[in-house]
Amino acid sequence: MSLVLTAYRYATMALAPVVPFALARRARLGKEDSQRIRERLGYAGVTRPAGQLLWIHGASVGECLSVLPLVDQLLLTATDRTVLVTSGTVTAAKLMGERLPHGALHQYAPVDTPPAIRRFLDHWRPDAALFVDSEIWPNIISSAHSRRIPLALVNGRMSQRSFRGWKRMRRTASSLLGRYDLCLAQDAKSAERLTALGAKRIEISGNLKADAPPLAADAPKLDELRGVIGERPVLLAVSTHAGEEETILPAHDRLRRLFPDLLTIIAPRHPIRGHEIAMLCGERSVARRSKGEVPYKETEVYVADTLGELGIFYRLSPFAFVGGSLVLHGGQNPLEPARLERAVLAGPHTQNFTAAYEAILAVQGFGRVLSSTDLATVAERLLVNPGEAMRLGKAAAEAAHSLGGAVERTRIAIEALLSDARA
């Protein structure tokens, strides 16, 4: 073990006594579930079922939703198998409680301290542990490895930015990644970076999010919004990050000169930014979803500052600008609008979903925007010609479908890992 990991282990052990107080404070702020806070300390909320148990950990909503089809497939292939899904956020826990199939359980992930991890592993005794996307927790990985629990990174992603950071701690990265028995990378770039950092057995499985079902929509809520909006043209910007509204709002102003009844809907990646976005709108008439408001005729900008409703908003426009792409974040998931046959617009920074953006924008023939002028120009083209927007949306859906297959490839690899462990 590297000196950094040794120091980390001793530091987290020393801090373990104060963790309950930190969690209690987070619970008061609404960032932890006060009724289930003991799970974060490694105390199980339910009894371990008999038989084989596979543990899948995803940090938050996106990672947990991406593994739902995989959970279904893993449960179908073994009758005595339970899948335990852990996450760290209240929102993810709520969604998993609603969407996990029979035979799957949800628990909050233990904090990465030695005592919490020990209690968690003593109780659950997983037959394999699968970590989603880019989850690398030193104590969890080291403790599971020391118990000879097969470890896999699934839907593995290593961005250029993360790669640069880990390269500065190459020995630590190698020590951690070398403990994985299998790394299933989303794409060739991630596979290359994981290999350079010391991962051993690597396969390219594709992106699990490409196999996710289309986002659902609450029908009564959708009908209500459709009734209020009527025939108004809509400019939809989803999953936006700080710094992007300063490009979207001038595009809105330019489009309003051509479409006086235009409604711009902005769904921020983090709903807590709703107030901030409303302030940025200045004298423009604003309504906020989180306040129960709807976009009446006089509303220019509707701030959709809620969680779990993107499926509704995608259905209100034939195209969508996907945020996180005008800033250095790297772009949010373009497969969500594409699967709903919505044309995709995005900024220049899309490295989080390189393959998906390249495939979708290639079949569309355009959609990359660099400025408010670009966004207004492309949006005008699609608003003037709804037929073209629908055609491009269908092309985007076909591109998204072509990227599928990751769930089955991942399932096969995990079954082989389990078989190797039993041999």
Q: Mean pLDDT over residues 299-320, rounded?
A: 96
Rounded CA separation 7/403 (Å): 42
CA separation for the pair 420, 217 (Å, rounded): 42
Is residue 3 pLDDT above 90, yes or no?
no
- pLDDT on residue 134: 81
- Measured N-to-C along each axis, helices 170-177 and 160-167 cross at an angle, to the nearest 10 degrees, of 110
Do the beta carbons of residue 176 and residue 138 sit within 8 Å?
A: yes
- Count Cβ neighbours within 10 Å for each residue of 321-346 and write b for 16 or more, e otherwise: bbbbbbbebbbbbbbbbbbbbbbbbb
Percent over 90 (pLDDT), the chain? 87
Give me the active site residues, please.
63
pLDDT at 156 over 90: yes
Task: Provide the pLDDT confidence category of residue 80 given band limits of 50, 70 and 90.
Answer: very high
Q: What pLDDT was estimated at residue 159?
A: 85
Burial per residue of 224-253, b for 16 or more beta-carbon CB atoms within 10 angstroms, e otherwise = ebeebbeeebbbbbbbbbeebbebbbebbe
* Distance between CA atoms of residues 224 and 206, nearest Å: 38
Least confident of 119-123, 168-172, 371-375, 383-387: 168-172
The arithmetic mean of pLDDT across residues 251-280, rounded, is: 97
Evaluate if residue 236 carries a pLDDT over 90.
Answer: yes
